[in-house]
């Protein structure tokens, strides 16, 4: 593989932070190569103060562990929370025992790759290239936020939509507001009937904020009678979806919605 500029010279490349106990020759060589290939990259120790400072600008963490791996526990927990909250990803360089320790805390879906030591730099560079390319394809997909207190139903809907869309899920209106403070959505699927803060109140909150006022909202409702539907439509959502809708019906409805938005 020729690791020339044509591989990494990708517009919109994400920031990478390499985490290691020390700025070794190997670590700095990796960062230098990433920068040469157009990838914004930097170094951090495992100390939380430094990681917290860099976390907002980082999309991919590369963690180099060593013994005793137990010393990395606080770092691993911080990275786990950060990846879950903001959809970031981790690559790990370490032994199989270190990997097993990390995976006690870290959800598998957020681990992009694992590399045994001694690390082979071209393999890591190729993995970063693939990650960036995949992220660019993913970024072109429309983003949908599902807001529903029924986690089982949300997971079903998410699985139906994932092949075509980027999907995030929250279980309350407050979580939706918090998520939207850091992320964007092209469409919100909002449960009409939720405890504490029902869908109509959440919609009112969204419309009252400049940053979220123009995001289209479709209500999810379990009631299909005329009176209920009239009540839902009186709130002027982009549309409504009955919760009895099937996979094909849901995708057809959303495909048609985004098609109309193009014109």
Task: Quote the number of domains for the chain.
Answer: 2
Cα→Cα distances 223→170, 193, 231, 242, Å: 22, 10, 11, 7
pLDDT at 262: 65
Query: Rounded to an integer, what distance in angstroms lies between the CA atom of residue 141 and that of residue 186?
Result: 10
Q: Distance between CA 185 and CA 211 in Å, rounded?
A: 11
User: Do 68 and 174 reside in the same domain of the chain?
Assistant: no
- Indicate the residue among 110, 139, 168 that finishes a domain: 139
E strand or H helix that includes residue 167: strand 166-170
pLDDT given for residue 3 in this prediction: 42
CA distances from 194 to 46, 151, 156, 191, 229 (A): 41, 12, 18, 6, 17
Q: Are residues 109 and 207 in the same domain?
A: no
For residue 5, what pLDDT is reported?
43
Looking up residue 54, the CATH number of its domain turns out to be 3.40.50.2300
Residues 176 and 255 in one domain: yes
Task: List Cβ neighbours of 81 (8 Å cut-off, separation of 6 or more).
Answer: none
Residues 135, 171, single domain; the answer is no
What pLDDT sits at residue 48? 94
Give the alpha-carbon dihedral of 31, 33, 35, 39, to 10 degrees.
-90
* Predicted pLDDT of residue 152: 93
**Backbone torsions φ then ψ of 215, nearest 5 degrees:** -75, 125
Residues of the chain with pLDDT under 70: 1-14, 136-137, 139, 224, 262-263
Domain with 191 in it: 143-261
Per-residue model confidence (pLDDT) at position 14: 65
- 219 and 202 within one domain: yes
């Amino acid at each position: 593989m020729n690791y020339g500029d044509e591989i990494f010279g990708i517009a919109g490349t994400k920031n990478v932070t390499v985490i290691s106990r020390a700025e070794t020759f190997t670590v700095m060589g990796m960062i230098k190569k990433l920068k040469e290939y157009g990838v914004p990259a930097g170094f951090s120790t495992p100390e939380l103060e430094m990681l917290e400072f860099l976390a907002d600008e980082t999309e991919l963490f590369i963690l180099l562990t060593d013994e005793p791996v137990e010393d990395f526990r606080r770092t691993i927990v911080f990275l786990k929370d950060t990846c879950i909250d903001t959809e970031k990803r981790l690559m790990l360089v370490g032994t199989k025992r270190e990997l097993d320790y990390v995976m006690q805390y870290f959800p598998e879906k957020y681990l992009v790759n694992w590399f045994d030591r001694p690390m082979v730099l071209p393999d890591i560079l190729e993995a970063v290239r693939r990650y960036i390319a995949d992220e660019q394809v993913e970024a072109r997909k429309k983003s949908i936020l599902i807001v529903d207190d029924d986690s089982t139903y949300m997971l079903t809907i998410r699985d139906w939509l994932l092949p075509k869309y980027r999907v995030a899920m929250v279980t309350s209106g407050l979580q939706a507001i918090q998520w939207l403070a850091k992320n964007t959505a092209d469409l919100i699927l909002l449960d009409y009937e939720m405890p504490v803060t029902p869908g109509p109140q959440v919609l009112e909150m969204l419309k009252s904020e400049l940053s979220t006022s123009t995001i289209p909202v479709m209500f999810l409702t379990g009631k299909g009678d005329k009176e209920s539907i009239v009540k839902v439509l009186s709130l002027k959502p982009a549309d409504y979806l009955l919760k009895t809708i099937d996979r094909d019906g849901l995708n057809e409805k959303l495909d048609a919605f985004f098609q109309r938005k193009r014109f």
